[in-house]
Structure 1
Amino acid sequence: MGAGHAHALYVHGHSRVHAMAPEAKVAAALGFVTVVALTPADLGWAFAGHAVVLAAVARTARLSVRFVASRALVVVPFIAFVALIPFVATGPRTEVLGVAVSAEGLVAARTILCKAVLGVTTTVVLAATTETTAIMRGLNRLRVPTVMTAIATFMLRYLEVLTGELGRMRTAMTARGYDPRWLWQARPIASSAGALFVRSYERGERVHAAMLARGFDGTMPVLDDRRAGRGEWAAAAALPLLALLALLAAAATRTLGGL
C-alpha cells in the first residue's frame, strides 16, 4: 500500500500529463466527462470535437493508440446492449442496410455509445498516467470524505491480493488432478470461495490490528505533499473548456445551418 504500488493500467512515463498533480488531473477528467454527459443528442459533431481533445491529451501523455483501445474494450458488452436499442425503440422507422429501425432509437444508441466510449477512454487515460494512491490523494485534496478514499484504497489493494490468492488455490487444485468442465463439478470451487472468504476476513483483522499497533488513525501517511500550482490548474481547466468550446461550435453550426 505504499506509494510505489502501481496498478495494471498505469504506464510509467515522464510526460507533462504524468507530472501533473493528481487533484488537477482528477478535476480535469470529471469536468470533461460532465461536458460530454451534458452534450445533446442532436449535436453529433460535438462528440467528434470531444474525441479530438481527448486524443490530444493521450498524445501528450505518450500513450499508444493500441494501449488505450485495448483497455477501452471493457465497454464492448455495453455496446452489444446499446446495439439493440434501434430495434426495440418506438417511433418513426428508417432503413439501415435494408433493415427497418427506429430513427429515434438510432440517435439514442449513437449518443449513448459516444458518451460511453469517451467516458471509458477518459478513465483509461487518467489511470494510465496516475497511480492509484495518487488518485486517492487527489480525491482527498478535492474534499472527498477520507473514509471513502480509505475504503477505496484498501479495496483496490486487497482485490489484487485476493485475486492472486484465488489463482494460487486454482493452481493447487489443478496440480492435484481437479479440472472441472461441467456445472455439476462446481462444488469444490464454491467450497474454495468460502474458504477464501474466511481467510480474507481473518487476514483483514490481522492487518487492521497490525496497523493500529503502528499508530494508524484512519488516514494514510502523506509521502508526497506537492500540490497543484496555478499553471497545472490552468492546464486542467483547459480540458473541459475545450470540450465546451467544441459543444458550442457544434451548436452554432447547427443554428447557422437552420437559417
Structure 2
Amino acid sequence: MCSAKSSFSNQNQKNINNYHPWEPRTKLVAGVIFVFGTISLDNISLLSAALLFSVVFALCSGLNLRLLIKKLSILIPFLALMNIPLIFGAGFPLSMDRVEFAALISLRALTSMTFTLFVFINQPIEEMLEAMEHLKVPSVITTVIYLAYRYGFLFIKEIQINMTALKARLFTTRLNKYTLKTLGELAGGIFIKAIHHSEIVHQAMAARGFQGKIPVGKPEPIKKTDIIKTILPVLFMIFLIIIEQVVF
C-alpha cells in the first residue's frame, strides 16, 4: 500500500485507540442535528458558545487537541480568501454589517467542521459507513464514499510518482507558459489513468459478484451511555435555538 495511506492509517489507528466508544448511529444523528442547528443560528455570541461546546465536547470524548488544530488550520486559508474581499470590498471605513457577516460564516464553518471531525476522525470509517447503511442512507451513497476513501490513496500515490519523476528531470515550477503546459499535461494523464484504473476495478468487482452494495453486519445495541452522549449536544443546540428565538 502507498506511503500516503500508511501514514494516514497509522495516525488514524492512533486516534481509534484513544477514542471513547460511542455507538456510530447515535453519533451520526447527534452530529447531523448539531451541524444543522449551527447553520440555523444567526447570533455571533450563540455561535461562539456552540464552537466552544463542540471543542470541549470533542476533547472530552477523546479527540486529540493537536490533531483538531491541525485539521481546522486547513480551513483557515479558505475562510481568509472568502472573508477578506467580503470585509474590505466596500472600502474604508469598514462596514460592521460586512464584518459581522464574515464572522458568522467563519464561526459556522469552524463549529460545523469541529463537530464533523469529531464524528468521523476518531472512529473507523467502516463503522460510520455501516451506521449510515443501518440508518437507511441509500446504498449508492455509502458505496461511493467507501470506494472513494479506499482508492483515493492510489490517486495520491500516482500524483506523488509523477511529481517525483518531474523533479528527477530537474523540473521547477514557475509562473510561465511552459510550467502551466507541463502541469496541464500531467493532470490530464493522471485523470486518464484514473479512468482506466476505475474500469479495471469495476470489472474485477463485477467478476466477484458485486451488486453495488457493500455487505454490512448487524448493528450494535444502543446503550444508555450512547443515548446520554447523543442527548447532550442535541439539548444544548435546542437550548441555543430557543435562546435566539426568545432573547435575540
TM-score by length of 2: 0.82
- Whether 1:200 aligns to 2:194 is yes
Partners of 1:198 and 1:69 lie apart in 2 by 36
Instruction: Report what 2:49 is aligned to.
Output: 49
Question: Conserved in 2, the CA contact under 8 Å of 1:22 and 1:134?
Answer: yes
Residue equivalent to 1:163: 156
- Return the letter of the residue paired with 1:132: I
Percent identical: 21
Partner amino acid for 2:58? A
Contact preservation (8 Å) 2:58, 2:115: no
Q: 1:174 aligns with which of 167, 177, 181?
A: 167
* Distance of 1:88 and 1:193 partners within structure 2: 34
**Cα distance, 1:7–1:147 mapped onto 2, change above 3 Å:** farther
**Root-mean-square deviation over aligned CA pairs:** 2.9
1:126 maps to 119
Provide the residue aligned with 1:85 in structure 2: 86
* 1:184-199 matches, cutoff 5 A: 184-186=177-179, 187-199=181-193
Q: Pairwise mapping of residues 55-134 of structure 1 onto structure 2 (< 5 A)?
A: 55-80=55-80, 81-88=82-89, 100-134=93-127
Q: Residue 49 of structure 1 contacts residue 243 of structure 1 at CA under 8 Å; is this kept in 2? A: no
Contact 1:23–1:141 under 8 Å retained in 2: yes
Confirm or deny: 8 A CA contact 1:23 1:135 kept in the other structure.
yes
Matched, 1:147 2:151: no
| Cα distance between partner residues in 2 of 1:76 and 1:225 | 40
When residues 101 and 141 of structure 1 are mapped into structure 2, their CA distance, relative to the original with a 3 A threshold, is same
Q: Does structure 1 retain, via aligned residues, the 8 Å contact 2:33–2:234? A: yes
Structure 2 residue identity aligned to 1:26: L
Paired positions, count: 239
Say if 2:235 is the partner of 1:241.
yes
Residue in structure 1 matched with residue 208 of structure 2 by the alignment? 214
Runs of 5+ consecutive residues of structure 1 not aligned to the other structure: 91-98
Give, as a single letter, the amino acid of the residue that structure 1 aligns with 2:144. I
- The structure having more radius of gyration, on CA atoms, is 1
Q: Distance in 1 between matches of 2:185 and 2:85?
A: 38
CA shift in 2, pair 1:134/1:89, >3 Å? farther
Contact 1:86 1:106 in 2 (8 A): yes
- Shift of residue 26 of structure 1? 1.5
Deviations 1:8-50 (A, max 9, x none): 873222432xx21222222111110111111133xx3322331
> What is the aligned counterpart of 2:218 among 222, 225, 228?
225
Residues 195 and 14 (structure 1 numbering): CA distance in 2 closer, same or farther, change over 3 Å? same
Counterpart AA for 2:31: A
CA contact (8 A) 2:134 2:219 kept: no
Distance 1:228 1:55, change over 3 A: farther
Partners of 1:108 and 1:180 in 2: CA distance? 37
Q: Deviations over 1:102-123 (max 9, x none)?
A: 2322322222221111011112
Query: Could you tell me how far apart the structure 1 residues matched to 2:157 and 2:221 are?
Result: 36
Q: Structure 1-normalised TM-score?
A: 0.79
Structure ranking higher in helix proportion: 2
Q: CA deviation at 1:157?
A: 2.1
